[in-house]
Amino acid sequence: MSLTVEKFHIQEQKDIMARVKSANAAQNRAKYARVLTFGCQQNEADSERIRGMLDEMGYAMTETDDGADVIVINTCAVREHAEAKVFGVIGALTHLKRAKPGLIIAVCGCMAQRPEVSERIRESYKHVDIVFGTHALWRFPELLETAVNGGERVFSVENSDGEIAEGLPALRGRKYTAWLPVMYGCNNFCTYCIVPYVRGRERSRGVATVISDSKELIASGARDITLLGQNVNSYKPAGETDFPQLLRELNDLDGDFLLRFMTSHPKDAGERLFAAMADSPKVARHLHLPFQSGSNRILKLMNRGYTREHYLELIAAARSAMPDLVLTSDVIVGFPGETEADFEETYNLIKEVRFDALFTFIHSARPGAPSAKLDDPVPRETKQVWFDRMIELQNGVSAEKHAEYVGKTLRVLVDTETGDALYPFSGRTNGNRLVRLHGDAALGEFADVKITDCNTWSLIGEMTTPRA
């Protein structure tokens, strides 16, 4: 099976988009669509594609349910809480659908790819018209046209290893920052994680396509581009290159821009990656490298494929190549069978590494993932106590790290007009720290900013370069 969707299949979708657009134009009022996104940056990038397809079918975007002719809910399955939130949103649309039977409601993404979820929607949420999984995203025009014309419910949730669909439009929500998926899927099967079951196997986009997309983004004003993948540093297009080489090639492109990437897996991180980062001035000095647990026993049960010692060696090597590196990570507490002693090892690792920021989770049993079948004797309250201790430690470190910036002048990309009277603009440092800005600034430009104050989550800054 080819990994890339054949061009003529993409052309079929483009023909359908043109047909739907003329049908919409023939009606005597504008049509609107709303896309709601849950989950990670990969889902944000997928939603940009969904909006791009809707735009090409003649739908204008709206931020309200009432005004919408089509509502698409792009879902996340990573934790139980994420799924519960989505079911709440779907349930709340029952009344609107009753009042407006022509409204099309679509549920897509990682949850929709789970057979239990698509069955539950089929049986209990009959007001949902379209359900499509991650592998059917490129066929959205066809599914929408069928639902609009046929009035039948449409389900496209077949399991698959996954393909790559090139050539579909995207409507980006942000001008100065951009997501750029370079690889999809995951082969690692960490025992707690649902992602490999809903996103298929690892597959990488070709270098030439990534380069031409990057050039387009830079030409359209993007100054901060994040390369995306479930394990972005496992990027490996057939016979071509690898992730460090991709970084070097993108660094050579013309223009004033920054490159970021996430999420990296420790198994494919090493000297080659750190050297490529250190040698590339356009690659941000920021590494997001999840460690998940500081206990070797738990890392093994998680099937992470590295030890605590190896992780610490990686951090030492990365910091030695880039002393100014900003380091962030993900961690899970309360994995089934985790003991107080295991947790202490996680706590001590956090204390030792001193991450700039940490994304912290309590283990959530995902039906279908192996950890859901393990004995889990530790009560939720104990896990919460561990979790709170960990957050307190990390908040202290984050605040101390932020305090070190006060008095320094940093280069910041001003990317947001906040609407806040005191801090009308905000931006991001090279290391991806949020800076709230006093005074006037030019959106979409890098500026020298003096850091005057800080808290745990953000820095406060003043422009030192006058606005051009």
Residues in touch with ligand SF4 (CB under 6 A): 186, 188-190, 193, 195-196, 230-231, 265
List Cα–Cα distances, 267 to 63, 399, 450, in angstroms. 41, 30, 38
Q: Which of residues 237-266 bind ligand SAM (CB under 6 A)?
A: 263, 265
Give the interface segment with ligand F3S, choosing from 10-18, 39-47, 368-376, 449-457 (CB under 6 A): 39-47
- Cβ atoms of 464 and 452 within 8 Å: the answer is no
Residue 199 touches ligand F3S, criterion: CB under 6 A: yes
Residue closer to ligand F3S, measured from CB, 77 or 353: 77
What token pair was written down for 414? 């001003």
Residue closer to ligand SF4, measured from CB, 186 or 298: 186
Q: How far is the CB of 354 from ligand SAM (least distance, A)?
A: 19
Q: In 77-152, where does DSSP find H-type helix?
A: 80-92, 94-99, 115-124, 140-150
201's CB contacts (< 8 A; 6+ apart) are 161, 162, 185, 186, 187
**CA nearest to 227, candidates 264, 194, 254:** 264
Residue 410 touches ligand SAM, criterion: CB under 6 A: no
Angle 7-25/140-150 helices, nearest 10 degrees?
Answer: 40
Residues 345, 347, 348, 353: is their CA dihedral positive or negative? positive
Helix/strand number for the chain, H first, E second: 14, 19
- ∠ CA(76), CA(78), CA(84), 5° rounding? 65
List Cα–Cα distances, 369 to 116, 198, 363, in angstroms. 13, 11, 12
Residue 330 touches ligand SAM, criterion: CB under 6 A: yes
Q: How many residues bind ligand F3S (CB under 6 A)?
A: 12
Q: Which of residues 204-233 bind ligand F3S (CB under 6 A)?
A: none
Q: How far is the CB of 78 from ligand SAM (least distance, A)?
A: 5
Residue 164 touches ligand F3S, criterion: CB under 6 A: no
CA distance 321 to 325: 9
Q: How many residues bind ligand SAM (CB under 6 A)?
A: 18
Q: How far is the CB of 301 from ligand SF4 (least distance, A)?
A: 13
Q: Residue 366: which of ligand SF4, ligand SAM, ligand F3S, none does it interact with, CB under 5 to 8 A by kind? A: ligand SAM
Binder among 87, 125, 361, 423 for ligand SAM (CB under 6 A): 361
Q: Residue 47: which of ligand F3S, ligand SF4, ligand SAM, none does it interact with, CB under 5 to 8 A by kind? A: none
The contact pattern for ligand F3S, residues 75-114, with x = CB under 6 A and - = no contact, is -xxx-------------------------------x----
288's CB contacts (< 8 A; 6+ apart) are 262, 263, 264, 328, 329, 330
Q: Residue 77: which of ligand SF4, ligand F3S, ligand SAM, none does it interact with, CB under 5 to 8 A by kind? A: ligand F3S
Residue type, 393: L
Residue 270 DSSP one-character state: S
170's CB contacts (< 8 A; 6+ apart) are 45, 48, 49, 51, 52
Give the interface segment with ligand SAM, choosing from 191-199, 218-226, 237-245, 313-321 (CB under 6 A): 191-199
Residue closer to ligand SF4, measured from CB, 75 or 230: 230
Q: Residue 364: which of ligand F3S, ligand SF4, ligand SAM, none does it interact with, CB under 5 to 8 A by kind? A: ligand SAM
Q: Residue 346: which of ligand SF4, ligand SAM, ligand F3S, none does it interact with, CB under 5 to 8 A by kind? A: none
Residue closer to ligand SAM, measured from CB, 62 or 328: 328
Q: How far is the CB of 218 from ligand SF4 (least distance, A)?
A: 29
Residue 71 touches ligand SAM, criterion: CB under 6 A: no
CA distance 372 to 127: 31
Residue 39 touches ligand F3S, criterion: CB under 6 A: yes
Q: Residue 189: which of ligand SF4, ligand F3S, ligand SAM, none does it interact with, CB under 5 to 8 A by kind? A: ligand SF4
Residue 292 DSSP one-character state: B
